[in-house]
Amino acid sequence: MAPTSNTYDVAIAGAGIFGLSVAYMALKAGLKVVVFDGKHVGAGASGGLLGALMPHMPARWNPKKEFQFQALLTLPDHIKELEAATGVNCGYKRLGRILPLTTQDKLDHHLERAEESKLRWQPDETGFSYTVEPQGSRSDWLSADAAPFGIVFETLAARAAPRLYLKALAAYIAARGSLVEGTRVTDFEETTGTVLLADGATVQASNFVVAGGHSAFTLIEKLTGENIGRGEKGQALLLDGHGLEDRPAIYCDGLYVVPHADGTVAIGSTSDRTSQDTDVDPERSADLIRRATAFCPSLEGRNVLTDWAGIRPRCNKRDPLIGLLPGHTKTYAATGGFKISYGIAHLVADALVSEIAGRQAIADLPETFRPDHHFGVNRLDTDN
């Protein structure tokens, strides 16, 4: 589909969760918006399967954890508004999360976290709890053998169906702005406001946002001369999950098990720093099933419905990159969410659009999200 105009307030490169969320917030702010993607909506890491919206632990509190907490608190209202506007159900629900305790040290540590959660999560106001339960608790879902010292059960964690969430955002943007798939942005000439496209066409934009997942790092390097991130492969799969729809998520043995409303259950994900292909590795899939069924026997014998592999964007300094690129006045970035993108995308987008529009954001971005943290003297060339 061709752009509906040749002049925009904001042009966005990338139709993943960050790019579409920025477009959504910009349209709500009354700006004229176009989104380009070299392939299609959700072609990168955002098109995965897991949909785990998990909070950071309520310990060693910092601005990043506070921002994510505020994002998870405000996400239900954002989803409700998006669903009402588009008629697309995003598969969102707060289900909570189970964490096994495997040693006495971990039990002691999480008892301390449970106490701190009363300060950080403000349960009397929010209703969200972080509690330690005895060995054998919820063993109809998490095997008691996997949690010899009990479990943590927290009620802030939630899930969404990633592809439905993207579908809702894309529907909103297509109806009110311009969404162009199969067209890649190659450059932005800030002095003239010209967005250059791979097919040789151009459009004009007052502001430009790079939000193309791991491929964004290549364009960011072209624009700034600095490489501040890379791609990291992940793999996940969906099993038949009928009867499990309302169970809480489990995090055990480095894996998430996340039931979804459509009768599926997602397992993931792996992490591979060296591989850059998007081919599903059957051995990896078999290992995911083996490990997950070991601590979650209810998954035993369930059919595999689909599997997925993709490259997730990871900044070398781990935290996302959000804001005006150094040396620029109209060129912004929103990428590198890695494993927390879906839970924070709407608040990241509000902050970035507020910066563009000169208004007050709902929540201030942590300094570790800002470009100054990633570029120049603060840059890391490799992730330690």
Question: Is 2's pLDDT higher than 80?
Answer: no
Q: Is the pLDDT of residue 384 over 70?
A: no
Arithmetic mean of pLDDT, 270-274: 78
| Percent above pLDDT 90 for the chain | 91
| pLDDT given at position 271 | 81
Query: Which tens digits make up the pLDDT trace of 337-377?
Result: 988 999 999 999 999 999 999 999 999 999 999 999 999 99
Provide the pLDDT confidence category of residue 47 given band limits of 50, 70 and 90: very high
Percent pLDDT > 70 in the chain is 98
In this prediction, residue 339 carries a pLDDT of: 86
pTM of the model: 0.96
What is the reported pLDDT for 336? 93
pLDDT on residue 156: 97
Average model confidence (pLDDT) for the chain?
Answer: 95
User: Could you give the domains of the chain?
Assistant: 7-48+163-229+317-378 (3.50.50.60), 97-156+231-310 (3.30.9.10)
Q: What does the H/E/C string look like for the chain?
A: CCCCCCEEEEEEECCCHHHHHHHHHHHHCCCCEEEEECCCCCCCHHHCCCCEECCCCCCCCCHHHHHHHHHHHHHHHHHHHHHHHHCCCCCCEECCEEEECCCHHHHHHHHHHHHHHHHHCCHHHHCCCEEEECCCCCCCCCCHHHCCCCEEEECCCEECCHHHHHHHHHHHHHHHCEEEECCCEEEEECCCCEEEECCCCEEEEEEEEECCHHHHHHHHHHHHCCCCEEEEEEEEEEEECCCCCCCCEEEECCEEEEECCCCEEEEECCCECCCCCCCCCHHHHHHHHHHHHHHCHHHCCCCEEEEEEEEEEEECCCCCEEEECCCCCCEEEEECCCCCHHHHHHHHHHHHHHHHHCCCCCCCCCHHHCHHHCCHHHCCCCCC
pLDDT at 383: 47
User: Residue 382 has what pLDDT?
Assistant: 66
Q: For residue 191, is pLDDT > 70? A: yes
Mean pLDDT within 40-51? 95
- pLDDT digit string, tens, across residues 166-179: 999 999 999 999 99
Q: Which pLDDT tens digit goes with each residue over 105-128?
A: 999 999 999 999 999 999 999 999
